[in-house]
Amino acid sequence: MSRFAAPIAEQIWDMKYRLKDADGGPVDGTVEDTWRRIARALAAVEADPAAWEDRFYHALEDFRYLPAGRIIAGAGTGRTVTLFNCFVMGTIPDSMAGIFEMLKEAALTMQQGGGIGYDFSTIRPRGAEVKGVAADASGPLSFMDVWDAMCRTIMSAGSRRGAMMATMRCDHPDIEAFIAAKQDPARLRMFNLSVLVTDAFMAAVKADGPWELVFDGRVYKTVAARDLWNRIMRSTYDYAEPGVIFIDRINAANNLNYVETIAATNPCGEQPLPPYGACLLGSVNLARLVRDPFTPAATLDPAALDDLVRVAVRMMDNVVDASRFPLPQQAEEARNKRRIGLGVTGLADALLMLGLRYGSDAAVAQTEAWMKAIARAAYLASVDLAKEKGPFPLFDAEGFLSSGNMRHMDADVRAAIRAHGIRNSHLTSVAPTGTISLYAGNVSSGIEPVFAYAYTRKVLQPDGSRTEEEVVDHAVRLWRDLKGDAPLPDWFVDAQTLAPLDHVRMQAAAQKWVDSSISKTINCPEDISFEAFKDVYMAAWDSGCKGCTTYRPNEVTGSVLTVAESADTADKAQPVAPAQTGGEVVYLSDPLDRPAALEGATYKLKWPDSEHALYITVNDIVIAGHRRPFEVFINSKNMEHYAWTVALTRMISAVFRRGGDISFVVEELKAVFDPRGGAWMEGRYIPSILAAIGGVIERHLIAIGFIAGEGLGLKADPQAQVMQVGERPRGPACPSCGSHAMKMIEGCMTCADCGHSKCA
């Protein structure tokens, strides 16, 4: 009998986490094999591997403890990949040589599958003098564009797109340009942006006082603090970025403020990290620990929670020794501090099983109690590890215990740390768990409320037919099993109906016992007023949160996964299916067979200084009356081109035959630059012959109506412009499968159909 509660869970495992050989054949026959592979790899560093392997396996069994996706996919595979999800890179020097050394380090990190965070506040502002070269500085945003281009070029290990976070201090002279940067729809697409907000700035905002923009001791400009705050808020209201990080609060609470200063976070914000800091994540699945759900005796088993946390801490500590690192500085940083981030998922489902409404006083109190229990168990487990294996190398009892976070820790925990030290400098964090939550049976994600209690997932088959499967939230599925067709009780609220301030209260309750930070999205209704929207951020500040991220659907950001009320079922919501018209993408789970004849076009490309032209043929397949690219051929009399053109055409054709939104192929080709130099063609600079080929393919996709125009994505569905009265807009298209089922969870757009997420 399968351990998977739903087909989508098994599909996520097979697509993202199952070990396969070089030809795509499965090595992990079952999910039990995956659990055994992980348990064996993490137990290998123990003195008695066999004993710990069984305990680790039991923790993983039935999705009780969920390591981060990097660990599930990479542990025990022998592959040269990092098991750490994300990194904050080194401090960027304010010099050309230093900046490009940092760019190289970023590329090496992303090549092994790590997302990265950077603080760009250290680069001098635009227009500042560059001594010795009689020039003015181009400013940090120009270099962010370079990072963005690099990220588009590199595919992270495990087929995950690179994710990056850029931060800038609220007193940097270029902060206004930073705030507005992503209002240009073509700029900095690979970045999340956050403003580092200081205590002094928030005091100036509340006092409506002046605020100086300063670099290297020089005041460049003085603005009204409240005006600058309103600029941040207006951009976030309209464009969903930048986020806000309360950086002084983070540093004051930091357990290691005696040896490090933090100025950036990983891409989703749950791990504020020092230079070269690494982010190691895992989650306890609270929904699996509830006894007697939906009864008066319902409770979360405290003994099971304590035991699971202690085993999880040991597993995560072992990852530090088992993992590879892209850079030696990252390995040194991780081993000197042994930072881990144990969090939770399934919180909202667990509350539902206890009859508690997410955001209510009772739910807030219960959340705080659970998070405190996890923190206590984690810290005491780390003390036990310190007794056995020694504390982390940079441990200093007085410095550690005097931090803002440790001062409110229980006296017995503080006494144990003082007496024995502690193995890990940090232990708790709440990470984005969108994909692993689907893998675990569609439990609610992280500390987020349930987004939709049920929805219909459209699955397109190789022959073009369409099947449907219902994806049901874990708590709702359990309710159905126990209660049959009884309607859901009124405490079953979801992200669509919650007031934004309920989100803030839950985040603040969890944050009190989390020593790092929390990835959380506060969903705001489209019609929320600007003043009420600003109140959400001020409430986050006043209640002790370390940052705030919101999402308000609108014409610019797009709508999140659309849900519609259903009066004749017990389900609270399901998404509106995409219309089967116009430019809809056909997603193929398996490659489609090639018809005997195809329509296509051949284009001549003459690269300057090349003796022979390239001839590029793009053939299309017609499905339901609509053309989409199916294969590419490149021919040339120049035999020096033969090997790479054959390889390129085979790879592109394989991608085309899988379906979905394949427009990214154009973006990848156009981003390739030749270090020997590009060429001017038709009045524009083309960085390489591969970029020129990308331009040819792009023109063909425009000609057949597959994409809307140069530099744009999929061509809009013609009927989407003629919406019926009362119809809600569809969400953004998934870049992996083309489905309009994207939803914002924990700062990441996640596809409800295929599980694609930049931050998985």
Tokens 């925990």, residue?
A: 413
Tokens of 305: 């929670």
CB 481 within 8 A of CB 472: no
The SS3 assignment for 626 reads strand
Amino acid code (one letter) for 513 = W
DSSP assignment letter at 82: B
Active-site option among 105, 241, 270, 746: 270
The DSSP string of 499-556 is -HHHHHHHHHHHHTT-SS-B---EE--TT--HHHHHHHHHHHHHTT-SEE-EE--BTT
Tokens of 70: 């990097």
* Known active-site residue 279: no
Active-site option among 85, 255, 266, 523: 266
Q: Are strands 550-551 and 522-523 parallel, antiparallel or unpaired?
A: parallel
Find, among 550, 554, 587, the residue nearest to 755 by Cα: 587
Q: Are strands 129-130 and 115-119 parallel, antiparallel or unpaired?
A: unpaired
Cα gap 313→310, rounded to integer Å:
5
DSSP assignment letter at 714: B
Cα gap 743→259, rounded to integer Å:
39
* Known active-site residue 270: yes
Active-site option among 151, 268, 524, 751: 268
Cis peptide before 242 (omega within 30 of 0): yes
CB 674 within 8 A of CB 689: yes
Cα gap 353→363, rounded to integer Å:
12
* Known active-site residue 424: no
User: Nearest 5°: phi and psi at 312?
Assistant: -60, -40
The SS3 assignment for 248 reads helix
Q: Residue 201, CB half-sphere, CA atoms under 13 Å: how many?
A: 27
The SS3 assignment for 564 reads strand
Neighbours of 187 (CB within 10 A): 14
What sign has the CA pseudo-torsion 195, 201, 206, 207? negative
Find, among 29, 245, 216, the residue nearest to 125 by Cα: 216
Cα gap 280→270, rounded to integer Å:
11
Neighbours of 464 (CB within 10 A): 12
Instruction: Mark residue 248 as left, alpha or beta (left: phi above 0; alpha: psi -120 to 50; beta: remaining).
Output: alpha
Amino acid code (one letter) for 593 = D
Cα gap 160→108, rounded to integer Å:
15
Amino acid code (one letter) for 319 = V
Cα gap 105→82, rounded to integer Å:
14
Tokens of 700: 């063909």
Cα gap 375→457, rounded to integer Å:
37
Size of the chain, expressed as the number of residues it contains: 760
CB 84 within 8 A of CB 131: no
User: Nearest 5°: phi and psi at 518?
Assistant: -135, 135
List Cα–Cα distances, 642 to 103, 209, 638, in angstroms. 32, 67, 7
Find, among 757, 160, 680, the residue nearest to 439 by Cα: 757
Nearest-Å Rg of the Cα atoms of the chain is: 26
Tokens of 39: 């348990």
CB 340 within 8 A of CB 422: no
Instruction: Mark residue 378 as left, alpha or beta (left: phi above 0; alpha: psi -120 to 50; beta: remaining).
Output: alpha
Point out the residues that are catalytic.
266, 268, 270
